[in-house]
Structure 1
Amino acid sequence: MLLEQEISAGKVNVEKIKVFNSKELENATDNFNINRVLGKGGQGTVYKGMLADGKIIAVKKSTKVDEAKVTEFINEVVILSQINHRNIVKLLGCCLETEVPLLVYEFIPNGTLSYYIHNYSEEFKLNWKMRLRIAIEVVEALSYLHSAASFPIYHRDIKSTNILLDEKFRAKIADFGTSRLITLEQTHLTTVVYGTAGYLDPEYLQSNQYTVKSDVYSLGVVLVELLTGQKAISLIRTEEGRSLATYFLISMRENRLLDILDAQVLEGPLEEIMIFANLAKCCLDLHGNNRPTMKEVVMKLEVIKIMDRNT
């Protein structure tokens, strides 16, 4: 099997990855009971499970059995077995007995960032301080992927539904099925366009070349979601503003930023919000070369954090 070949070739860090048997995971998820479903996505369905020792896990099972899905799942094992960061979801192991490997992750209890941005909740309000902290955590994880992991990694599907929140509402980036390890000499990937509408780098759409700055563009859209509480694509907005990135950039150009900010954000310090908004604008520059690196985004957000401490 392909994954076994990858393991024997040394591409998977076997010390970090446990190999589960299928019976263990069937028992843990009550035979993949529909009541255990945590979420469904392009890659498959994620189930909540409990191992015999009481440990709570999340198990990803492919909805389709084809070569592309097998490749995606193997890719995720290879990448996640080699990285370790507090703001990246941990892969605990996999099961090789099924046609498409089952992937086993740490369980992240509070769902997606997208849910809390787009669904008002009385018991949990995403205030400015929390949005700023979550943004910093996400960017630190992406900066690690781009420059601190053993090889540079392009995530390739940064969006608010791929950012999970743990029991303390700390951000954890998930879903590495389409991510790619890059050699130090590589400047881009030439691929068929893949990703999520509203988050895709326009330069990548035109050239089919995915660069480190394409992740920066997608991050920019997430930053705007945090600012506005609005979705990346919306049919409610006028045609030219259906893309949140375009809607935001037009609002910035026309000095109407305050009109589109989320009510929770408006309660924060205006100076911090303006720096954050201008940073998001830089990330959304149509020319990749003009966008900041993830390291530069981290540094700018740290400045806002220091300002926030002093207020």
Structure 2
Amino acid sequence: MQVFYTDQFVLPLPSGHRFPMGKYRLLRDRLAAELPEIRLVPAEPASEGQLALVHAPGYIQAIGDGSVDPKILREIGFPWSLAMAERARRSVGATIAACRAALREGVAANIAGGTHHAYPDRGGGFCVFNDAAVAARLMQAEARRGLRVAIVDLDVHQGNGTAHIFRDDPTVFTLSLHGQKNFPFRKEPGDLDVDLPDGTGDEAYLQALERALDELGHRFDPGLVIYLAGADPHEGDRLGRLKLTWDGLEARDRRVFDWAWQRGLPLAFAMAGGYGHRIEDTVQVQVNTFAVALGYARRWQNRPR
């Protein structure tokens, strides 16, 4: 299974910043040590032309040269730097590469990504460019026939930017399960939004996910799934509040991968959010997701041709 990474680009964040930048390198180290079947590949940056499939040219240029509006930077939550701009482009590039690999091999991943709060002309919530949106548009442009894409967003926060980008596009279906009272406080209507109360827990969450995937299957026939496997629904997350256990999150991942496998759908996934009180807990949730994914990647490799 190919997994693309960008953790060699570390943002120079001020002391005490709440974004856990170190989780990406910790995750890559764990995957290299514990799941040797994974092929770790450094991601290439997305080009300006690829980004322009979703993002406004002026915004792309402003992120590139540092002329971005300070208000937008405050909404993003990162200070501008060359490393910030390069990492943002490579995070999109990693999801592009994961989608291409998934279309060939069945399952692939981006260690980062899931930047679903980015709009065409602005970022927000630690998201600069919208990797899933750019990748979906590019896969459609590269496909010989019309490709329909389902974005299954299981970050604890609603993917408002993604929903906005595809609100009038019948070829991309956005499904989001998220905290009803969590950020963003103004939600954007997607194709299927499931608002969950604080403290939802494993059983109610998994039942809601089962219903949502069933509805997705009845309403839409995708050729590619992009899965945002957020670690932030975990009970140890500072920003999550949905209170899922380790077992609940692993069951969540298995349900999504199995849903795609049963339909013969290639699946690319990105790690999205994770803000555990202990960074090790966030990384463990993500390692568990990769272990589940690897099992399904083996199935793809062994399926009859």
What is the TM-score of this pair, normalised by structure 2? Answer: 0.32
For normalisation by structure 1, the TM-score amounts to 0.31
Higher relative contact order (CA 8 A, sep 6+): 2
